[in-house]
Amino acid sequence: MITLNCNMCGKKYQVEPYRKNISRFCSRDCQQKEFLRIRKGEDHPGWKGGKPKCEVCGKKLSTYGTKRCINCGKSDEHREKLAIAKRGGLTFEEYFWSKVNKRGEGGCWNWTGVFNKGGYGMVKKNSKYIKATRIVWEMFNGKVPKGKGWHGVCVCHKCDNRACVNPKHLFLGTQADNMRDMVAKGRSPNNVGEHNPNVKLGRKDIFKIRKLYTGEYGQQTSLAKQFGVAQNTIYDIVNNNSWSHI
């Protein structure tokens, strides 16, 4: 064994002779401190006076080179501190209202943040994305009841503007109530007959199929081949199970 001086703390330590020209530090801690000094500057707390502290909660870190402790993002307290740090010091409510434009048409308060595929505003809270309308309802009216079924109780719009988060334009209802409201306001899509984007037949084809069909054995199969559809499609047409509106 030979004795060397640590390049970081100056302490003497012993190594095998073959490591004479390789070893420069007495421990991994000293190696990490030197790495931080070179890569991140001498003001980094990792090498200057003990282990660094978490930039969110102030707890001492278990390893060098990291900025946050393992507890951040787990407990509610740490998760909220972490979220505030990511939002630039803003609380959740301050961040939420910074994403709302209260000058929309018809008194709407339009959401300007993230939207889902359905066009509804979404906001991240406790590591989960939640509809902005639900957050607003709970701010002004308390928690939304769970209700029954897959959808439970929904927060619906009176103004039919999906981006609106004005609490005066919102009401609670089931998914069935929401669908009835959509139909009553004439917003339900018309997918009947030729309006269906997946349809293969037109009105003329339907009239022709019904005129040609006589009820003979095997005729449904032959008509299906002629019009390029399945046999059960012909069955539904001639028995008015489909295209019953004409």
The domain locations on the chain are 24-89, 102-184, 193-238
Distance CA 134, CA 157 (A): 11
| pLDDT the model gives residue 38 | 63
Q: What string of pLDDT tens digits covers the 246 residues of the chain?
A: 889 988 888 889 898 888 888 888 888 888 877 777 665 554 554 444 555 677 677 776 655 555 666 666 566 677 777 778 778 888 899 999 999 999 888 899 999 999 999 899 999 887 789 999 999 999 999 998 887 665 788 999 999 899 999 999 999 998 888 888 887 877 766 667 777 777 888 889 999 999 999 989 999 999 999 999 999 999 999 998 888 878
Backbone angles phi, psi at 3, to 5 degrees: -105, 135
Distance CA 27, CA 33 (A): 10
| pLDDT the model gives residue 175 | 85
| pLDDT the model gives residue 95 | 92
| pLDDT the model gives residue 224 | 92
Q: Is 47 exposed, middle or buried (0-12, 13-18, 19+ CB in 10 A)?
A: buried
Which pTM does this prediction carry? 0.53
| pLDDT the model gives residue 46 | 47
| pLDDT the model gives residue 64 | 53
| pLDDT the model gives residue 47 | 46
C-alpha R_g of the chain: 34
